[in-house]
Structure 1
Amino acid sequence: MQKIKSTTVVAIKHGNQIAIGADGQATMGNTVAKSNVRKIRKLQNGKIVTGFAGSTADAFTLIERFDEKLNSYGGNIKRAAIELAKDWRTDRYLRKLEAMMIVADASELLILSGTGDVLEPDHDIATIGSGSMYAQAAALALKKHSSNLSAEEMVKESLGIAADICIYTNHNIIVETLEAAN
């Protein structure tokens, strides 16, 4: 899987909620270029949430393509993700894009990468970006030992922990939620 050195995105499905959050830091090399980038987007009239890590322009291109695939496949998130991954791997222009995405709807949580991967993460926790391993460890511990927290609270706490450790992640956190299908 690609190593994206630029941000942290976390998604957690817990109880009746799916939450996706990201920090707001954009870097150019070792310099903070902007501290409040919005890396979370809602699609399909708020039914689908995406988060991205990597080059902002590349990620916007992928989000647009993903939205087109969603429209082509009636909002079916898994089918749209698979078709985007196929294009991403084979299209000469797309395969040069340096980004990763997490996408979620009420029942699916997926990670998409430029290597053609469409992954359904274990434990209903998805993380991407430079601080992803820190956030994933925190999310696993929170989910295991803090069942009284909501998915949104777990995402915020996981991102906060990652921001304390990863220099490419800051504390300007934005979280979007969806009601999960039971």
Structure 2
Amino acid sequence: MTTIVLVRKNNEVVVAGDGQVSMGNTVVKSTASKIRKIEKRDVVAGFAGSTADALTLFERLEAKIEKHAGNLSRAAVELAKDWRTDKYLRRLEALMAIGDKEHSYIISGTGDVLEPEGDVVGIGSGGNYALAAGKVLIETDKSAEEIAKKAIQVASEICVFTNDNIKILKI
């Protein structure tokens, strides 16, 4: 797994992720990037779970966003429908946290499209730690980027499947 946090504050949306890739209890890579940006549509996404599965889902998300003229809500629902009903996609094991200037969503392979309450989203093995840290920090004068970075740092100190090699994207 991994840790992804998405933070919305002062008209900024930031997604951050750690760089650790594990196979069982072994660290295979410490510098992976598990976040992506869809430049044309100002959408950021982070994924937790199998890397190949997550990249497949990200490509599908990008296609859905283009198909629905940038409507992230519609694209998220359509991706979740495909994920749940397509025999190939149904086997993919990943979670996605996605956001644009207006909405944040968590998309799962069970067909869930969740719009979390609040301005912080956390997914992955250290997601709850990052979420808790982010919820505390959102009340400070820190920027969305500073909050996201610190939230991943906190998670990396608690979760053995999370490191402090942090990648950040913002819109």
Is the aligned partner of 1:117 residue 2:88?
no
User: What corresponds to 2:162 in structure 1?
Assistant: 169
User: What corresponds to 2:90 in structure 1?
Assistant: 95
CA–CA separation in structure 2 for the residues paired with 1:124 and 1:116: 22
Q: Once the 2 structures are TM-superposed, how far is the Cα of residue 46 of structure 1 from its aligned partner?
A: 6.0
- Where does 1:50-61 land on structure 2 (aligned, <5 Å)? 50-61=45-56
State the percentage of identical aligned residues. 51
Structure 1 unmatched runs, 5+: 1-5
- Where does 1:10-89 land on structure 2 (aligned, <5 Å)? 10-45=5-40, 47-89=42-84
CA–CA separation in structure 2 for the residues paired with 1:64 and 1:133: 26
User: What corresponds to 2:143 in structure 1?
Assistant: 150
Give RMSD over aligned pairs.
0.9
Partners of 1:8 and 1:23 within 8 A in 2: yes
- TM-score when scaled to structure 2? 0.97
After superposition, give the CA deviation of every residue in 1:98-119 in whole Å (9 maximum; x if it has no partner).
Answer: 0010111111111111111111
CA–CA separation in structure 2 for the residues paired with 1:70 and 1:83: 9
Q: Once the 2 structures are TM-superposed, how far is the Cα of residue 45 of structure 1 from its aligned partner?
A: 2.6
Partners of 2:84 and 2:90 within 8 A in 1: yes
Secondary structure at the aligned position of 2:122 is classed as strand
Structure 2 unmatched runs, 5+: none
CA–CA separation in structure 2 for the residues paired with 1:15 and 1:159: 20
Partners of 1:44 and 1:75 within 8 A in 2: no
Structure 1 ranges of 4+ moved more than 6 A: none
CA–CA separation in structure 1 for the residues paired with 2:18 and 2:11: 24
